[in-house]
Amino acid sequence: MAVVQTRNLTKVFKEGQLGAVNDVNLETREGEFLVFLGPSGSGKTTLLRMIAGLETPTSGEILIGGQIVNDLSPRERRIAMVFQSYALYPHLSVYKNIAFPLKAQKVPKDQQRPKVEWAAGLLGIGALLDRKPRELSGGERQRVALARAIVREPAVFLLDEPLSNLDAKLRASAREELERFHRRVGTTTIYVTHDQVEAMAMGDRVMVLNKGVVHQLGTPTEVYDNPADTFVATFLGSPPMNLSEIGDVIAGFRPEHFRPASTADAGAVPFRFKVENIEYLGSEWIVSGTLAGGKMDGKKVFSRLASAQTLKLGETYDFAVPRRELKFFDRATEKRVEPRSVTWQ
């Protein structure tokens, strides 16, 4: 097991253009599950590929287990990677797929079989060893890819959106399985995804990236409750945090904290809310509309409620946000600032 560090890591694909990854400094913790989260084009995969050794950094350093690995080939970095497509070798049986890294490392033949069987058993694919990849379902392929990654007991696991090829139902169970798998093997894992649900559910910590820049690195609670800037605030959460410029700051509050005034405590900030659309999602309701009156008149906001049966389209209601749930961001830098008193009306 090992810790992965990057120092001022930068990747520029075309000279003179903006880097795909810009000046990233990060340090994983021993055995943690770290998630790189960002929209497509945010540089998260490029960053992972640099750590894997599949992409050469333009500048900066990568350390694995305290050793600089910039000049080492992927095979010398003792990493294992699971690709988005799984990249199974289609002409080889499941057994040979899993045994391939062992063969490449010249593990003696008689030690290969027990290791392959151990990895296959860990992922519950012991019965599939003679099949070819094309005879497997998506979920089984993913497990083969994981078994092939775990079999050589790598120092670091790199996973590049391994769930994105699965259908929604399978994805939830595969996610849970991955979490359990990580708890069992305890290997430092870096997981790339654009799916905030995966990131929140699985990550010990989440690193939010956009345009090659790290916006925040923290636990799921930290990035959700205390976003470092407006990008993190709006990227996480669905619907995103309501943001509104007021004076020299941007004020924000989560839709779930924007609720009818009758349910709020005494010190809450009151708003008039004109309901324009109501969506019923089973366990919750998403109500969208505009604020009426005050400095933020006409501003579009979302509310997430457990029940919205009494609300009617086109009507205006008294809503409120608890003071402690208000977040403030600097208007120029969009970075988070200390709470301050604002005149709302």
- Is the Cβ of residue 52 or residue 233 nearer to another protein in the bound state? 52
- Is the Cβ of residue 163 or residue 249 nearer to another protein in the bound state? 163
Cβ-based neighbours of 102, under 8 Å, separated by 6 or more:
111, 112, 115, 116, 151, 152
Size of the site for another protein (CB under 8 A): 23
- Is the Cβ of residue 152 or residue 182 nearer to another protein in the bound state? 152
Stretch touching another protein by CB under 8 A, among 84-92, 185-193, 241-249, 335-343 = 84-92
- Using CA atoms, how far residue 50 sits from 11, 33, 187, 245, 319, in Å, is 9, 18, 19, 39, 48
- Applying CB under 8 A, among 91, 113, 183, 335 the residue interacting with another protein is 91
Q: How far is the CB of 190 from another protein (least distance, A)?
A: 13
152 binds another protein (CB under 8 A): yes
Strands 285-292 and 213-218: unpaired
Other CB atoms within a 10 A radius of the CB of residue 11 amount to: 21
Bond from prior residue into 239 cis (ω within 30 degrees of 0) = yes
Smallest CA-to-CA distance from 93 within 124, 111, 118, 120 is with 120
Q: How far is the CB of 14 from another protein (least distance, A)?
A: 14
83 binds another protein (CB under 8 A): yes
What would the x/- binding string for another protein be over residues 104 to 123, using CB under 8 A?
xx------------------
192 - beta bridge partners? Answer: 36, 160
- CA 6: distance to chain centroid? 19
Stretch touching another protein by CB under 8 A, among 89-97, 172-180, 215-223, 282-290 = 89-97
Alpha carbons 293 and 111: distance in angstroms, whole number: 74
- Is the Cβ of residue 92 or residue 292 nearer to another protein in the bound state? 92
148 binds another protein (CB under 8 A): yes
What would the x/- binding string for another protein be over residues 23 to 52, using CB under 8 A?
-----------------------------x
Stretch touching another protein by CB under 8 A, among 74-82, 167-175, 200-208, 276-284 = 74-82
Stretch touching another protein by CB under 8 A, among 80-88, 181-189, 192-200, 246-254 = 80-88
Alpha carbons 173 and 318: distance in angstroms, whole number: 41
194 binds another protein (CB under 8 A): no
Smallest CA-to-CA distance from 51 within 6, 98, 82 is with 6
C-alpha gyration radius of the chain? 24
Is residue 260 packed enough to be buried (19+ CB in 10 Å), middle (13-18) or exposed (0-12)?
Answer: middle
Assess contact for 252 and 243: CB atoms under 8 A. Answer: yes
Q: How far is the CB of 74 from another protein (least distance, A)?
A: 5
Q: How far is the CB of 306 from another protein (least distance, A)?
A: 44
- Overall size of the chain counted in residues: 345
57 binds another protein (CB under 8 A): no
- Applying CB under 8 A, among 12, 63, 87, 342 the residue interacting with another protein is 87
84 binds another protein (CB under 8 A): yes
- Is the Cβ of residue 73 or residue 343 nearer to another protein in the bound state? 73
Query: Which DSSP category does 138 fall into?
Result: H
Residues lying near another protein in the complex (CB under 8 A): 52-54, 73-75, 79-81, 83-85, 87, 89-91, 100-101, 103-105, 148, 152
